[in-house]
A = this chain, B = another copy of it.
């Protein structure tokens, strides 16, 4: 594994649909999350708000099977190329990037968050 540069213990991770290249979310990983992702083939992150390691889909079932991991020229960012189970966004959209910067919606919900999450923390 290439030595990665963590900033305060974290590295930004772009989750990207391995087939369509759609960007589904941007999250952060610590070294343990990266190693767990490699070891299990399932995307793991570090939640900055909850301050803990987090397996994507642990509550919702919307897991991410990791096909390939890329790093950039500076080794300070990652791409998880994934197959997304269900949807990536906790608000019910396939991608967290469902709006333009002007607030226009470019996607529709694919699930009802109230039926998937006991609490809406993810």
Contacts and interface: CB of A to CB of B under 8 A. Distances in A.
A39 B104 CA distance: 18
Copies of the protein in its oligomer: 2
Given A12-B26, A38-B101, A70 B106 contact: yes
A103 B2 contact: yes
Interface in A41-91: 68-74, 77-79, 89-91
A36 B77 CA distance: 24
A1 B104 CA distance: 10
A69 B103 CA distance: 10
A10 to B, nearest CB: 11
A106 B96 CA distance: 27
Interface string A1-41: 11010000000101010001111011000000010001000
Interface in A78-120: 78-79, 89-91, 93, 96-103, 106
Nearest to A37: B101
14 contacts: A2-B99, A12-B12, A14-B26, A23-B23, A25-B72, A26-B77, A70-B97, A72-B89, A72-B96, A72-B97, A73-B90, A73-B91, A73-B93, A74-B96
